[in-house]
Amino acid sequence: MNLVPFVSVDAMMRLVHRIGIERVLVDLADAVAEDFRRWDQFDKTARLASHSGEGVIELMPTSDGSLYAFKYVNGHPGNGRHGRQTVAAFGMLADVRSGYPVLLSEMTILTALRTAATSAMAARHLAPAGARTMALIGNGAQAEFQALAFKAVLGVDRLRLYDVDPEATRKCARNLAGFGFAIAAAGSVAEAVEGAEIITTVTADKRNATVLGDNHVGAGVHINAVGGDCPGKTEIQADVLRRAEIFVEYAPQTRIEGEIQQLPADHPVRDLWRVVAGHEPGRRDARQITLFDSVGFAIEDFSALRYLRDRLAGTGLAQDLDLVADPDEPRDLFGMLLRAAPDAAVSSPS
Amino acid sequence: MNLVPFVSVDAMMRLVHRIGIERVLVDLADAVAEDFRRWDQFDKTARLASHSGEGVIELMPTSDGSLYAFKYVNGHPGNGRHGRQTVAAFGMLADVRSGYPVLLSEMTILTALRTAATSAMAARHLAPAGARTMALIGNGAQAEFQALAFKAVLGVDRLRLYDVDPEATRKCARNLAGFGFAIAAAGSVAEAVEGAEIITTVTADKRNATVLGDNHVGAGVHINAVGGDCPGKTEIQADVLRRAEIFVEYAPQTRIEGEIQQLPADHPVRDLWRVVAGHEPGRRDARQITLFDSVGFAIEDFSALRYLRDRLAGTGLAQDLDLVADPDEPRDLFGMLLRAAPDAAVSSPS
């Protein structure tokens, strides 16, 4: 048998706690940065999306020529009303030489971790020097991950929370209570952004909503725009985008899915990977408004799965799955099936 | 927890034997035909291929607006030399409304079954009436599945086997011994096709090889061309193609991957689904040469997974996988992670 290690949701949570949540976020930020620095080695394609009235189902593949990764992920803004996650995901790694899977994993939690780690990694290059205060607009499933990544990677330790639903803000503040933040709950977006050097928007269930307006954004701020991530779903007023220098993961995908879908197709944007690789500067001066138009890209999942695979070794947390048929003689797939018959003889023709 | 049923290789083989191999092939032919008849309801896209020096890894998604399916499949002609399958696969079904997976399954065996069932289903419309004799060129991992599907669906009970490796032919004949075929091993392609009304080519490890030449194909024959299925891999001499009426699954994909990659991009081909749906005739007369340029299409996998899901119910053969994180409160993904900490308190900041 050719068994494939599987990381369940439970196993993922155990692994994260063994390593430490903040350590995982720092490691993932480093893993993503490492892969961004070798951007040219990857096969890149906009994700393959299947849209329906309720949401979207996407496949996100990439390969560096040695490992192949893909993620299955949905985005269903109405899922929360039925007790389900807006975004759920799983993914796998395969060996390019054989095409055989080498790891299958839950990725709902891993995606939240890698998204936050990527945001924090981007902010390393884009946020004003010494930033310690972040407004967190949208306090749903991704919010705490974002907060913790900015703390672990950048040292952000003052949070200003806002959500249209105060219960979400209370949940977020409660979950973050043990991590050493000074937390303020704000009654409005305007109140939340007061004094914040970084503004993270991570809302769900919005259709071209304006979560962040032009009057909310002062000079020198870094905006981490995470929530807008599919056609017709944006969070930031177009005037803010026009004032900002915009950094993207993979422009052909971001033009369709990101905040910049509101702008003309030739509006200049900059590649984050070029900044990470040191080819171009990130933030240029203290008064500039920078904006990371995050939609999530397949290479980030590749980085996360690669990291997972490395850290999984020897933990005993993986479960072995009999996922790929592996007859003793490769050409004898049918013979393997015959020999599996209950009577150990051939199955009788029907 | 939101558990996803998983069908392992072992479970798939048990299920196939419970139902009966030939019954499964007939059922799958019907399931594929049923979905071909409602072709317009499906999202259709050429598969997303990642090519390397050793082979290809592909994702094949489709949806009928209610269910979404995708398959992961590789094609690595050199795998046999390392004791691995040329083609290995797994796939899943998801609910379009929620985006949540509802079934994960091995698909190495299921793909061999659905490919053979689709070939036989096509031959129902394209093979000469009353055909009982099939030449089977290429006696590797897919060969017996093809033979048995043509027997179960069409009543083909005389086989003429040929492979460049006589050991493959012996393996194939041995595996098919219990199924009521009259089997002849041929010493050449020319000998194998003598008297055959159907010619199936299903070879691997070929680069624009000419397995079937112009002199091998007489009037009235149906050719089931299965082996050529990626760019640069064909089996049939172009002259044969020019004499035949060619039927395809999904032309945009077949033009790249099928036998017709040897022909000009505007060479006329016909859609198999239109024939199956009754919009157009299949075979028109007894002297016509028909050719099904099979490359495999996502809707066939959809049909197979849908059938699997129906037949799996109540068997107890599925294994439950903890694949999708499902906190009690959807927005509280982070809280779920915190509560999974070994000390049942928050994980200490690192």
- Residues in A touching B43 (Cβ below 8 Å): 50
Sign of the C-alpha dihedral, residues B311, B317, B322, B328? positive
Strand partners, A218: none
Q: How many CB atoms lie within 10 A of CB A77?
A: 18
Q: Which fold has domain A2-109+300-326?
A: ornithine cyclodeaminase, domain 1 (3.30.1780)
Q: Quick one: pLDDT at residue B207?
A: 63
Nearest residue in chain B measured CA to CA from A143: B334
Sign of the C-alpha dihedral, residues A84, A10, A49, B30? negative
Tokens of A66: 């040695």
Give the span between the Cα atoms of A267 and A257, in whole angstroms: 15
Distance from CA of A196 to the nearest CA of B (A): 23
Decide if A57 and B99 are in contact by the 8 Å CB cutoff.
yes
Q: How many CB atoms lie within 10 A of CB A151?
A: 23
Decide if A92 and B76 are in contact by the 8 Å CB cutoff.
no
Q: Residue B81 — pLDDT band, cuts 50, 70, 90?
A: confident
- Helix or strand run (H / E) with residue B161: strand B158-162
pLDDT digits (tens, 9 = 90+) for B147-201: 999 999 999 999 999 999 999 999 999 999 999 999 999 999 999 999 999 999 9
Per the CB < 8 A criterion, the answer to whether B60 and B47 are in contact is yes
Task: Tally A–B CB contacts below 8 A.
Answer: 287
Distance from CA of B151 to the nearest CA of A (A): 10
Query: Do A2-109+300-326 and A121-296 show the same overall fold?
Result: no
Q: What type of residue is A191?
A: E
Classify B98 as helix, strand or coil: coil
Decide if A80 and B331 are in contact by the 8 Å CB cutoff.
yes
Decide if A54 and B99 are in contact by the 8 Å CB cutoff.
yes
- Nearest CB neighbour to A85, from listed B10, B325, B346: B325
Distance from CA of A210 to the nearest CA of B (A): 21
The residue ranges of chain A whose pLDDT is under 70 are: 1, 205-208, 228-229, 344-350
- Residues in A touching B56 (Cβ below 8 Å): 99
- Nearest CB neighbour to A322, from listed B9, B45, B76: B9
Q: Quick one: pLDDT at residue A330?
A: 85
Distance from CA of B204 to the nearest CA of A (A): 10
- Residues in B touching A173 (Cβ below 8 Å): none
Decide if A50 and B43 are in contact by the 8 Å CB cutoff.
yes
Find which of B6, B24, B98 to mutate to test the A interface (most A CBs within 10 Å of its CB).
B98
One DSSP character per residue, A159-196 reads: EEEE-SSHHHHHHHHHHTGGGT-EEEE-SSHHHHHTT-
Nearest residue in chain B measured CA to CA from A319: B321
Give the span between the Cα atoms of A272 and A37, in whole angstroms: 10
Spell out a b/e string for B159-197, using b for 16 or more CB atoms within 10 Å of the CB, else e. Answer: bbbbbbeeebbebbbebbeebebebbbbeebeebbeebb
Among residues B302, B39, B66, the alpha carbon closest in space to that of A53 is found at: B66
- Nearest CB neighbour to B17, from listed A140, A142, A342: A342
Find which of B334, B343, B346 to mutate to test the A interface (most A CBs within 10 Å of its CB).
B334
Q: Quick one: pLDDT at residue A78?
A: 87
Q: Which fold has domain B118-296?
A: Rossmann fold (3.40.50)
Per the CB < 8 A criterion, the answer to whether A244 and A290 are in contact is yes
Per the CB < 8 A criterion, the answer to whether B231 and B257 are in contact is yes
- Residues in B touching A340 (Cβ below 8 Å): 10, 13-14, 17
Nearest residue in chain A measured CA to CA from B42: A50
pLDDT digits (tens, 9 = 90+) for B95-135: 999 999 999 999 999 999 999 999 999 999 999 999 999 99
Distance from CA of A145 to the nearest CA of B (A): 7
| pLDDT at residue B70 greater than cutoff 90 | yes
Q: Quick one: pLDDT at residue B2?
A: 80
Strand partners, A7: A105
ipTM for the complex shown:
0.93
Q: Quick one: pLDDT at residue B105?
A: 98
Give the span between the Cα atoms of B71 and B90, in whole angstroms: 6
- Nearest CB neighbour to B168, from listed A13, A331, A342: A331
- Residues in A touching B168 (Cβ below 8 Å): 331
Give the span between the Cα atoms of B126 and B134, in whole angstroms: 14
Give the span between the Cα atoms of A146 and B44, in whole angstroms: 37
Q: How many CB atoms lie within 10 A of CB B39?
A: 17
Q: Quick one: pLDDT at residue B68?
A: 98
Decide if A54 and B96 are in contact by the 8 Å CB cutoff.
yes
| pLDDT at residue B206 greater than cutoff 70 | no
What's the distance, CA A97 to chain centroid?
A: 27
Distance from CA of B288 to the nearest CA of A (A): 32
Tokens of B87: 């083609």
Burial of A143 (0-12, 13-18, 19+ CB in 10 A): buried
- Residues in B touching A50 (Cβ below 8 Å): 43, 61, 63, 68, 96
In chain B, where the domains are located: 2-109+300-327, 118-296
- Residues in A touching B326 (Cβ below 8 Å): 9, 84-85
One DSSP character per residue, B276-299 reads: HTTSS-S--STT--EEEE----HH
Decide if B324 and A85 are in contact by the 8 Å CB cutoff.
yes
Q: Which residue stretches of A5-57 are H helix?
A: 9-19, 21-37
Decide if B68 and A80 are in contact by the 8 Å CB cutoff.
no
Tokens of A147: 């907060």
pLDDT digits (tens, 9 = 90+) for B30-46: 999 999 999 999 998 87
- Residues in A touching B328 (Cβ below 8 Å): 83
Tokens of B25: 């092939």
Q: Which fold has domain A121-296?
A: Rossmann fold (3.40.50)
Active-site residue numbers of B? 229
Mean pLDDT of B40-61: 92
B2-109+300-327: CATH class: alpha beta
Strand partners, B161: B136, B185
Q: Is A314 left (phi over 0), alpha (psi -120 to 50) or beta?
A: left
Per the CB < 8 A criterion, the answer to whether A78 and A85 are in contact is no
Among residues A249, A320, A260, A300, the alpha carbon closest in space to that of A7 is found at: A320
Contacts of A234 (CB under 8 A, 6+ apart): A206, A208, A209, A228, A258, A259, A261, A262
Give the span between the Cα atoms of B19 and A347, in whole angstroms: 10
Give the span between the Cα atoms of A301 and A92, in whole angstroms: 9
| pLDDT at residue B10 greater than cutoff 90 | yes
Tokens of A102: 């080498």
Tokens of B212: 């079937």
Give the span between the Cα atoms of B321 and B319, in whole angstroms: 6
- Nearest CB neighbour to A324, from listed B13, B108, B327: B108
Give the span between the Cα atoms of A83 and B253, in whole angstroms: 39
Decide if B65 and A52 are in contact by the 8 Å CB cutoff.
yes
Give me the residue label for tokens 């000009």.
Answer: B264
Give the orientation angle of helix B298-312 with respect to helix B9-19, to 10 degrees.
70
Give me the residue label for tokens 């859609």.
Answer: B271
